[in-house]
Structure 1
Amino acid sequence: MDNITLINRLPRIFFFGILLLSSIYFFFIGTEKYNTIKISEINIEEISQDININNRDKNIDKIYDISKLKSDLKDFSWVKKNKEKVNINNNEVALLINKMDQNNYNLEKVIFNKKIPGFFVNELPEDISYIRDTEQKKKLFISIVLPLIVEVNRDLKLKRSRLKKLYDKLSQDQTLTLKEHRWLINLALENSIKISQINKIEIAKNLLINIDIIPNSIAIAQAAKESGWGTSRFAIEGNALFGQWTFNNSNGLIPKERQVGEDHYVKSFVNLKESVKSYMKNINTHKAYKSFREKRFQYRQNNRSLDPIVLVHELSSYAELNNYTEILQLIIEKNELYIFDDVKLIINNSLV
């Protein structure tokens, strides 16, 4: 090949050289950039999800994480201002929060898992009213009463399940055993159900109207309203969460606002659980709440979940306030208490 021919072919050789280098660049470098772009797109989606999750967690943390109370309790500065009322060296709120942590109990986990440990508190901490942050005070109160409410409701569910089996048996014209008969009659007597001149199937049906749960959200809201989120004298001194009246001075506290000539007391209890049990029995048996029970039974008959916002408006007789049920609805909605309605109990019987 002569020099002239080689010179003439140089542009073509140069062109193919550029093409070859471009191909090499694409395969070894361009592909890497392409993959990087794709990976970045996936990461952006993941990051977006993480941001949503983190924002959700922050909101839940802000609303429900009782461990934040510790920041209020580290220096006890707010307690020191009330030395005459609070024992600084034995702060009950701080001790209770520590026990909750030791038992791995916090509301954030309850919300996600829909399971709550059997962490049962017998008495409210006397210094709960000294928590400065109202929201934190509410969280601690909910953490105290929720396991008790869930447990009493669980017992009602078990009774109702057994009762339903007897009702189905009677509906099929089957004869109850002596043990079943005695259990049914005793349950009727306990719940103020008439047993004379009425057949057993009617007794069982009437009991099914009465033996049922009170939605957790309603029970929490009423306890909060009646006890001032656990700060009232009746709640602290008498474990009275629901402000129930009694005319027996041996187990009651005299209201300071009681008028001359009145003889009622606010019923006291040996522990908080007894207060919850008494409250639920009151709702399930007293004639003043018949419409509540009938409305609840309608939901059961139609295989629908109980709606606390509808049911709470059947409790207007509980207090003399004209807007009592509206207040309860506001407490439920503002504090999103309905999120606790499907919580189940994990039994480990940690008593405080």
Structure 2
Amino acid sequence: MSEMFYGKGSGKQGMAETPKMLDRTLAELKDTQDVRQKKLGFFALLKPMVLLENSYILEQRRWIEALNLSQLTPVQSSQLNSILINYRLMDGSDSLPSDVSALRALVSRLLIRVQPVPVELVLVQAANESAWGRSRFAREGNNLFGQWCFSKGCGLVPNQRSEGAYHEVAVFKSPQLSIRAYLKNLNSFWAYEDFRQARAAEPELKGARLAIYLAEHLKRYSQRGQAYVDELKEMVQVNADLIEQAPDEYLR
């Protein structure tokens, strides 16, 4: 999967540098029979990664909002074009609309996509999809969210893959890159347009309340549909306090 575009440069001319990679691995998760400690260890490992990735999405959003669309510099035009391609609103053969009204309309659509996902939702989905970081795909491929890829050799072949199916489970160099790909998926793939519209419609909702509200719009994420949604919502309710307790940064 492609990595999210963050751009180069700084200030009015361009975006901030690509976010740093946090040098932490799923191997740090300790085997324990204490359920609370297992959960807290999982949240403590991943929460700083989620917050970092969300902070860059928010920074990207603020950069877009600050643009004077009628007077873009060449650098700004190039980077805006790349962001639109990354969020699947343009392809590589497209160029920015020359008409300012059309460009504003396109950027309005973009801003619905360039938004953070609540950390509570990210973490409970990661826990649900990866068996708290202990699934085969998490351990062997840093895949926390069950993301698929579709070219031979691109990932890990599921043991229970149906005859005739050719998907594999994507492999990532780090859990942080799995989080980045998941955020891009929710923010750009057509199946989650309802999720994005719901998020845009409730800008005042925050935290666990927002996570529970948005989980209702993830029926397409799993073949289990509403049962999957209900499970996510319950997980947010049960684990919200633990997620709050997990540190925002790594304790050295």
- Structure 2 length-normalised TM: 0.80
Kept in 1: contact 2:51–2:119 (CA 8 A): yes
2:169 corresponds to: 266
Q: Tell me the SS of whatever aligns to 1:256.
A: coil
1:141 to 42, 45, 50: 42
2:85 to 169, 189, 211: 189
**Deviation at 1:126?**
7.4
Distance in structure 2 (CA, Å) of the matches to 1:191 and 1:349:
34
Kept in 2: contact 1:156–1:211 (CA 8 A): yes
Paired residues in the alignment total 222
**Deviation at 1:135?**
1.9
Kept in 2: contact 1:160–1:208 (CA 8 A): yes
Letter in 2 for 1:276: I
Change (3 A) 1:184 1:338: farther
Q: Tell me the SS of whatever aligns to 1:260.
A: coil
Letter in 1 for 2:146: G
Residue identity (%): 30
1:255 to 158, 179, 183: 158
1:316 corresponds to: 219
1:336 corresponds to: 240
Q: Does 1:326 align with 2:222?
A: no
Change (3 A) 1:234 1:131: same
Letter in 2 for 1:190: N
Q: For each residue in 1:91-147, what CA deviation from the matched residue of structure 2 results, as whole angstroms up to 9, or x when unmatched?
A: xxxxxxxxxxxxxxxxxxxxxxxxxxx99354212774x321222111111111111
Kept in 2: contact 1:126–1:236 (CA 8 A): no
Return 5+ residue gaps in structure 2 as ranges: 1-19
Q: Does 1:151 align with 2:61?
A: no
Return 5+ residue gaps in structure 1 as ranges: 1-117
2:145 corresponds to: 242
**Deviation at 1:349?**
11
Distance in structure 2 (CA, Å) of the matches to 1:269 and 1:280:
14
Q: RMSD of the TM alignment (CA)?
A: 2.6
Change (3 A) 1:340 1:183: farther
**Deviation at 1:327?**
0.4
1:205 corresponds to: 108
Kept in 1: contact 2:47–2:248 (CA 8 A): no
Q: Does 1:161 align with 2:46?
A: no
2:10 corresponds to: none
Change (3 A) 1:315 1:270: same
**Deviation at 1:333?**
0.4
Structure in which a larger fraction of residues adopt helix:
1
